[in-house]
Amino acid sequence: MHSLVQAQWEGVPHTQWVLHHDPSCATRTEPWGIEVISPLLRSHPGSTWRNDVRALWGFLSQRYNVSGNTNCSTHVHVSRAEDFTASELKCIAQAIIHFEPAFEVLVPPERRGNRYSRSSWIDNPHLAHRNLSRDQSIDLIESLNTVDQIIGVMNPGLSKFFGWNFLPIRTLKTIEFRRGSVSLTSDDTFMWVELAMSFIKAASIQNPPQQLRQYPRTTGGLKAFIQNVYLPTQPGTHGSSYLDRIFHGKDSSARLEPRPVSNLFPREEVEEEAKLYEKYLQTL
């Protein structure tokens, strides 16, 4: 593990566990707000990537008192061995818009109306801000033809501050899920990873909008959508118990519309990040 808190390490990215600052969870006193970034973890039959995550949490829990608050979150980057095609990205984007009310139920209250993980629909100047319904937004996405067009709609103003961030497609070949709450154990981490990974896999092989609309925008509809793609539990790939954990106790008919976040123009978003970073530097 290496530290980037004060740019103390230079190496090949995504090959080591890294400690990093995150202005959104920075603190002036103990407990110190630190972001942990994993190396690239590969999920395939026989992979030991879960053991690597367990080893990290074992190390931390033996040596530190780990805590979290509402400013903390779990972000998951998902990629494929082969790059996402424009057609797959379109299907994923449409499924995100369709099932957002179900995800709103699954995430805790502090991740709702969060300015750093905004609604892909209600906070989007290309969609709800133009008075487009969810179905109309899905139809708009259906008309897109290129990866850049899809990114432009899903991340307007090239802002990453949406619950699903498509910008890393250009650099890391990943889609980032930003809605997860703080993880304090390996099982917490696996829960959010499983949700993001299973949903993206299911969405990428569906045939929206006609097939997508057969599923209600509820937690039960989302679960059925994911389970429609056979994802057997096997070492190194999917773990259905982690998916069951996040759906446990949720009413299958539950849905919740997101709360809008006050709009910031892209320039203001950059300035806001800079202010947070400056505040963080003052604590060093």
Residue 229 pLDDT? 81
Per-residue pLDDT of the chain (284 residues; tens, 9 = 90+): 777 776 666 778 788 898 887 777 777 788 888 889 999 999 999 999 999 999 999 999 999 999 988 889 999 999 998 899 999 999 999 999 999 999 999 999 989 999 999 999 999 999 999 999 999 999 999 999 999 999 999 999 999 999 999 999 999 999 999 999 999 999 999 999 999 999 999 999 877 788 999 999 999 999 999 998 867 677 788 888 999 999 999 999 999 999 999 665 555 555 555 555 455 445 44
CA distance 208 to 270: 34
Beta strands in 60-218 (DSSP E): 73-78, 164-165, 175-181
CB 105 within 8 A of CB 220: no
Q: What global pTM score does this model have? A: 0.89
Q: What is the pLDDT of residues 121-173, one digit of tens each?
A: 999 999 999 999 999 999 999 999 999 999 999 999 999 999 999 999 999 99
Residue 139 pLDDT? 96
CA distance 229 to 227: 5
Integer angstrom CA distances of residue 27 from 87, 95, 192, 273: 42, 36, 25, 15
Residue 281 pLDDT? 46
Q: Which candidate, 153, 249, 164, places its Cα nearest to that of 199? A: 164
CA distance 144 to 209: 13
CA distance 259 to 132: 16
Q: What does the buried/exposed string (b/e) look like for 204-239 if buried means 16 or more CB atoms within 10 Å of the residue's CB?
A: bebebbeebeebbbbbbbbbebbeeeebeeeeebbb
